[in-house]
Amino acid sequence: MKTHLSLLALGLPVLALQACATHQPSDDVKAQMTRTEVVIQQADRSGVAVNSLPELQAAKDKYASAKVEMEKKSAEGDRKALQLAKQAEVDAQFASAKAQSTSQETAATDAQKGVDTLKQETDRNAATSSAPVSQVTAP
């Protein structure tokens, strides 16, 4: 009986190590990690870093943490990786939306400046053409 307990005590850690070594992340975790990586890459390529650096950096940091959790090769690591990857995806989408909004605000401001300039020119031309024309007198 004592021999069986000793073998059991020695065998459990080996089984636990073997289980960790063969753990594969779930398809949900793999798919989310892929989606998140793509969203972050798209945000990088669209110039988000210029207008939304803190938000994009937060997404990258959470994605890096998700990778670390996934490498733990455990169900708990997968759960944390999935959660962090989802947060990173939302952060990257927010960074993209914020950058796009900033670009649109800049374009709207530029367009308004153009309209104001045209209005000023129109007002100036109207004032010039409504001024009385001096009559030329013959000698």
pLDDT of 86 over the 70 cut: yes
Q: Is residue 67 in a domain?
A: yes
Q: Is residue 11 in a domain?
A: no
- Overall average pLDDT of the 68-83 stretch: 96
- pTM for the whole thing? 0.65
Long-range CB pairs of 31-36 (<8 Å, 24+ gap) are 32/82, 32/85, 32/86, 32/89, 33/63, 33/66, 33/67, 33/70, 33/81, 33/85, 35/85, 35/89, 36/63, 36/66, 36/85, 36/86, 36/88, 36/89, 36/92
Task: Kindly report, residue by residue over 42-53, the tens digit of the pLDDT.
Answer: 988 887 767 778
Q: Is residue 46 in a domain?
A: yes
Q: Is residue 22 in a domain?
A: no
Q: Is residue 139 in a domain?
A: no
Q: Is residue 138 in a domain?
A: no
Domain of residue 72 covers: 33-100
> In total, how many domains does the chain have?
1
- Overall average pLDDT of the 124-134 stretch: 71
Q: Which H or E run contains 133? A: none
